[in-house]
Amino acid sequence: MPGINRRAFLGRMGLGACAVASGGLVPATLIAGDRFLGSPYVKEALFYEKLDDNFVRCRICPRECVVGPGQRGYCRVRENHEGKYYTIVHGRVCAYHVDPIEKKPLFHFLPGTTAFSIATVGCNLECKFCQNWEISQEVPENVGATNMSPERVAAAAEKYGSPTIAYTYTDPNVFYEFVLDCARAGHEEDLRSVVISAGYLNREPLMGFISNLDGIKIDLKSFKDDFYRDICGARLKPVLDTITTIRDRGLWLEIVNLMIPTLNDDEKEVDAMCKWIVENLGDGVPVHFTRFYPKYKLKNLPPTPVSTVERAREIALARGMKFPYVGNVPTGNPGESTYCPGCNEMVIKRAGYAVVSIDLVDGKCPRCGTAIPGVWS
């Protein structure tokens, strides 16, 4: 199987990361044993099962990695130390920034505000088009980091005037424990928390997210299982299950579909996805069709034409979606703005990540009184 590393091979074979007794995917504890539990970044993980011979089975995501002593899971940030499983990135923040909430993108969540955005190293997918592969596909020891406690994260958000903490850049599933602790610390200071995720998460930890977060943006990368398998090293069904569970539980949800030329931009696939969304989630969920730019292992493909995402928006509207958007387009595209589904008047005008104007009164159109779903205050 040329061109496939061991990690991708195990993922394709359905073995997770470390499903062999002879050793895990990521060998050797890189934090010395006598210092392991003294590291400020190490905390016992949630959602794992102890097995015989000091092996453990991770229960965070559908991979359910079986990890031997001294080994790490597929995500490279959860380690088996003497038969207990630990996250090794609790507070190990490799990236932080103050972003417009629209950059996440979340268009119906406190528009015009900022989010204090943080990430640790690691991911439980290996998307060939990853924009942040330098941190998502690395081990923690190879990336500089700042030690930030949950209280310090909340204090930083307050300092920069951000009403929201966003867990983003890499997939927050892999620094799950830190997300929960930060969200709880933030809530004590009246700060919101949102996760920007691919949604490759088991149901029980997902329920923990739903109970502690204020919103989630899910990347629905394709509506084809073979795309997930070949391009991301994952499967489609767990993502769809995550999305429907979030919607059923009432947590604010927005969806992004990154459209990649020749891989997931077929109009029939877009139509099938839009049909599924309307039937399973309703017509009021914002869906963002965004353009791809060559990156990581997909540098051979061209950027997505603007016309492709505009056509996807047209298909979504024809399927009855009320809030389809286009992203990564030249500033001022009409598909960036929000329109009232009652009278079709613009209620939020955007130019790129900037909000030009908001014309809502208590979350309703001031002209016809139609309620616009979202988190507005």
As beta bridge partners, residue 253 has 216
Comparing 196 with 10, the larger pLDDT belongs to 196
Average pLDDT over the chain, rounded to an integer: 92
pTM over 0.75: yes
Q: Please state the length of the chain.
A: 377
pLDDT at 33: 47
pLDDT at 38 over 90: no
CB neighbours of 268 closer than 8 A, spacing ≥ 6? none
> How many whole angstroms separate alpha carbon 333 and alpha carbon 305?
13
- How many other C-beta atoms lie within 10 A of the C-beta of residue 234? 24
- How many other C-beta atoms lie within 10 A of the C-beta of residue 26? 23
Cβ atoms of 42 and 86 closer than 8 Å: yes
Q: Which of 48, 40, 32 is nearest to 83 (CA)?
A: 48
Residue 272 sits at φ, ψ, to 5 deg, of -65, -40
Burial group, residue 373, by CB count within 10 angstroms (0-12, 13-18, 19+): middle
- Residue 65 tokens read as 């990695």
**Which CATH number does 92-337 carry?**
3.20.20.70
The helix (run of H) or strand (run of E) holding residue 272 is helix 267-281
Cβ atoms of 293 and 327 closer than 8 Å: no
Give the up-direction half-sphere exposure of residue 364: CA atoms within 13 A in the CB hemisphere.
Answer: 8
pLDDT at 292: 98
Percent of the chain with pLDDT over 70: 91
pLDDT at 207 over 90: yes
Comparing 22 with 323, the larger pLDDT belongs to 323
Span 264-319, pLDDT tens digits: 999 999 999 999 999 999 999 999 999 999 999 999 999 999 999 999 999 999 99
What is the pLDDT confidence band of residue 37, given thresholds at 50, 70 and 90? confident
Span 339-374, pLDDT tens digits: 999 999 999 999 999 999 999 999 999 999 999 999
pLDDT at 309: 98
Comparing 230 with 12, the larger pLDDT belongs to 230
> How many whole angstroms separate alpha carbon 217 and alpha carbon 47?
23
**DSSP labels for 9-37?**
HHHHTT-TTT-STT--SB-S-SS-HHHHT
Q: In Å, how far are 365, 366, 369, 376 from 362, measured between CA atoms? A: 9, 9, 10, 8
Q: Which of 94, 101, 102 is nearest to 132 (CA)?
A: 94
> How many whole angstroms separate alpha carbon 135 and alpha carbon 144?
10
Q: Which of 307, 306, 367, 373 is nearest to 342 (CA)?
A: 367
CB neighbours of 338 closer than 8 A, spacing ≥ 6? 107, 108, 323, 346, 347, 348, 350, 372
Span 76-92, pLDDT tens digits: 999 999 999 999 999 99
Name the CA radius of gyration of the chain, rounded: 21
Mean pLDDT in residue range 115-123:
98
Mean pLDDT in residue range 167-174:
98
Burial group, residue 103, by CB count within 10 angstroms (0-12, 13-18, 19+): middle
In the chain, list all ranges with CATH 3.20.20.70.
92-337
